[in-house]
Amino acid sequence: MKKRILGKGGLEVSAIGLGCMGISQSYGVPLETAEGVKLIRGAFERGITFFDTAEVYGPYKNEEVVGEALEPIRDQVVIATKFGFDIDGSGVPDSRPERIRKAVEGSLRRLRTDYIDLLYQHRVDRNVPMEDVAGTVKELVAEGKVKHFGMSEAGVANIRRANAVLPVAALQSEYSLMWREPEEQIIPVLEELGIGFVPFSPLGKGFLTGTIDANTTFVEKDFRNTVPRFDLESRKANQVLADTVTRIAGDKNITPAQLALAWVLAQKPWMAPIPGTTKLSRIEENIGATSVELSAQELAEIEAAVSGIVIQGDRYAPIHQARIDR
């Protein structure tokens, strides 16, 4: 597995990581703990060393699965987790210093470790100054409980404010052929400041794999049932993108998922996408993207094919859309 460096602090991760959220929630039926542990260890055996979780996934359950899976190989992996919600209360963003400390203690226990490699603020808390958030994480770094600081779905102003207090190793936000907004302001700022980028949903929440169309029915607990981008009319309108990716992938004799991931990897050497899955076969397929080389001409051809496609539907339901920092 090829490696990539996130941030100026030299955090080395596998070029493709594993987003573990779907093991416990959001995408259909969760895996049993034993199955989740087996999947994560299978990913490691195939070269993935970068694993992403959060206290809110489950909530709490996902960290427990990740902790059990990675405990025997803790010194060989990078674990990223997140704080930032009042999980046991209102569910709203909460990054007060005392809440951050409580979250970290809980995460350390569930992850069966005494340090967190990469600690993200899950969402910006508009009620807590970013200097207080970064300052608290800086204290946790000094205490040895956290190695690197990250942010998720943060806007330019807050990235700059946080980085001025404590160097930010990585920003985690959605980015793919289906969602390219970060190219406008975020990616240039990350490059300027030397911050790594960890794209989540690099396969467009499954849409870019070519397995979702207007006839697809999601199981009851699949959160895509609430996502405007996945309502029937949006899927019909967005089908042209999936078809285009499938066609280009076929011409190159790779899968649509491999093309979509290879495209992300080709954008910058400091990007490490974290596709999620509950199937080992998909992990193997995703890893195959690291061997796909896209020439400058091929990238230009992809750009020409997709640049005129306008994606229909918001990324989240309104309540979650409102929590994205701008």
- Catalytic residue list: 57
Closest-CA residue to 21 (of 171, 205, 161): 205
By three-state DSSP, how is residue 131 classified?
helix
Alpha helices in 83-173 (DSSP H): 97-111, 130-142, 156-165
Closest-CA residue to 302 (of 239, 256, 238, 236): 256
Distance CA 56, CA 85 (A): 7
Distance CA 218, CA 155 (A): 31
CA separation (Å) from 271 to 7, 117, 198, 224, 267?
10, 17, 6, 25, 8
> 218's torsion region: left (phi>0), alpha (psi -120 to 50) or beta?
beta
Closest-CA residue to 74 (of 41, 46, 107): 41
The residues, ordered by sequence, that sit 6+ positions from 4 with a Cβ below 8 Å of its Cβ are 12, 13, 14, 15, 196, 269, 270, 271, 272
By three-state DSSP, how is residue 122 classified?
coil
Say which residue the tokens 């959001």 belong to: 26
Distance CA 48, CA 43 (A): 5
The residues, ordered by sequence, that sit 6+ positions from 77 with a Cβ below 8 Å of its Cβ are 44, 49, 50, 51, 70
Q: Could you count the other beta carbons within 10 Å of the beta carbon of residue 155?
A: 16
Q: Which DSSP string do the residues of 213-276 spell out, in sequence order?
A: -TT----TT-GGGG-GGGSHHHHHHHHHHHHHHHHHHHHHTS-HHHHHHHHHHHH-TTB----B
